[in-house]
Structure formats: C-alpha cells, structure tokens
Amino acid sequence: MIKAKHLSKQFGDLTVLNDVSLQIKKGEIVAIVGASGAGKTTLLQILGTLDTPLKNATAELLIDETDVLKLKDKELAVFRNKKLGFIFQFHQLLPEFSALENVCIPAYIANRNKSEAEKEAKELLAYLGLSHRINHFPSEMSGGEQQRVAVARALINKPAVIFADEPSGNLDTQSAENLHDLFFQLRDKFGQTFVIVTHNEELANLADRKLVMSDGKFL
Ligand SMILES: Nc1ncnc2c1ncn2[C@@H]1O[C@H](COP(=O)(O)OP(=O)(O)OP(=O)(O)O)[C@@H](O)[C@H]1O
Ligand SMILES: [Mg+2]
C-alpha cells in the first residue's frame, strides 16, 4: 500500500529525517513512536503528501501504486482528497459546520452526489455511535465525539490509507481506548490501513508493527 524509500528532510542545516525507508501493507496498522522531536510528525506529513522530502535521485514514495513525488500540485490535491484520510490530535473540524456537514466536505470536494454523500455520512456517524449528534456543531460535542466525527470525515471517501498524528493525545483514557478499538474494528471490517503516530504505549503495542524513531531514523 505504501512503499517509501530514502526519504530525508532538512530544515536549514538540521537533518530531521535521515534516509528513512518503509513498506506498509493493506490492512496493516503501523504505529510510529519515539521521543519528542524525533521526526515522527515530519515523516507522517511527508508520507501523507502534506510536505515534500528532500529531492534526490533515490527518494521514492508510492501510495496505492501511485508515484506521488511525480504528481503536480493539482493532481496531488485530487489524490489526497480521494485516497488519503487524516486524523490530527486536535480534530480540526470546521467550527461553523455541523457534524454531518464536516463529514460531507471531503465528499463535496470530490464532486460526489450530495444526497449520496449525506446518506453515507449519516451511516458512518451512526456506525460511530453519533446518530444523535449529526446536527451538533463541534463546540457542542465532547472531545471523544469530535474525534469520532474526524474519523468519519477521514473515512468518507474510502481512503487507501488513514494517517493519524496523536489521534488520542487530547482524550481521556476511556475515550482514547474507544477510539483505538474503533481503528481495529475498521481494519477488521473494511481492511482499512492506518499509520499512527502515538505516545500511547497501549495503542503502539496493539498495532501490527511498532516503529521506533530516534533522530530522524528508525531504530
Ligand atoms: N518547519 C520547521 N522548521 C524548522 N524545524 C522544524 C520544522 N518542523 C519541525 N522541525 C524540527 O524537526 C524536528 C522534528 O519535528 P517533528 O515535529 O517531526 O517531531 P515529532 O517526533 O513529531 O515530535 P513530537 O512528539 O513532539 O510531536 C524537531 O526538532 C523540530 O524542531
Ligand atoms: Mg509530532
């Protein structure tokens, strides 16, 4: 599903990512852990095409068989919208839109039929136990509820991969556990692939693979 080779990144003369390679299979849940500043977010942003690696002859990033380093900006935006889902520590829902609208936005951007998108968004929200919250605004939901809306938003276009950066970092223990269970359910039911940066030991140990980063490399 993901084949990354020789990814590096520098900020000025600081090397933040140092020749990282990895492969991730469909349906795998991979956890990336490591100390603060190790380069986890930088790697996730590059894998998620939100940032670019150092251009060199050997750098390679294939996602779902697409060579994303070769895509132009517009093609990349379309690819990201259709193929990738994102969940961040702070849900980043749009405050002036309801739960249902937030979930539908990536589908609208993909020019999908409005009523179909809404129907699917409602089904997803129901699956995530949020049927009673579809017309609530983010400020009217708990942290765990907001994060589940963010999960539904990440899922709406049936992405090949979901990238999550500290998805439970802002949640209480119970909500975090529920969110983690949900990731595994989505994997078991739909074969959803996840790459998750986390400081949560429990989640990292449940993952199919735990990759430890230190100084811009895997240990
Ligand atoms: N835009 C930037 N400009 C300069 N330095 C940056 C930039 N982004 C990140 N860095 C540096 O790169 C290093 C790695 O940052 P990164 O955010 O990837 O760490 P992290 O492993 O996600 O840490 P944390 O667990 O605290 O989120 C840090 O030393 C950081 O200061
Ligand atoms: Mg980080």
pLDDT digits (tens, 9 = 90+) for 27-52: 999 999 999 999 999 999 999 999 99
For ligand 1, is residue 129 a contact (CB within 6 Å)? no
What residue ranges in the chain does DSSP mark as E strands? Answer: 2-11, 14-24, 29-34, 60-63, 66-67, 84-87, 161-165, 193-197, 209-214, 217-218
Cα gap 82→145, rounded to integer Å: 24
**pLDDT tens profile 111-148:** 999 999 999 999 999 999 999 999 999 999 999 999 99
Q: Is the pLDDT of residue 78 over 80?
A: yes
Q: Whose C-alpha lies nearest to ligand 1, atom 19?
A: 37
Nearest-atom number in ligand 1 for the CA of 39 is 18
What is the pLDDT confidence band of residue 91, given thresholds at 50, 70 and 90? confident
Residue carrying the six token digits 């983690």: 180
Average pLDDT, the chain: 96
Ligand nearest to the CA of 46: 1
pTM above 0.85, yes or no: yes
Nearest-atom number in ligand 1 for the CA of 42 is 18
Strand order in the sheet with 193-197: 84-87, 161-165, 193-197, 29-34, 209-214, 217-218
Cα gap 144→156, rounded to integer Å: 18
For ligand 1, is residue 16 a contact (CB within 6 Å)? yes
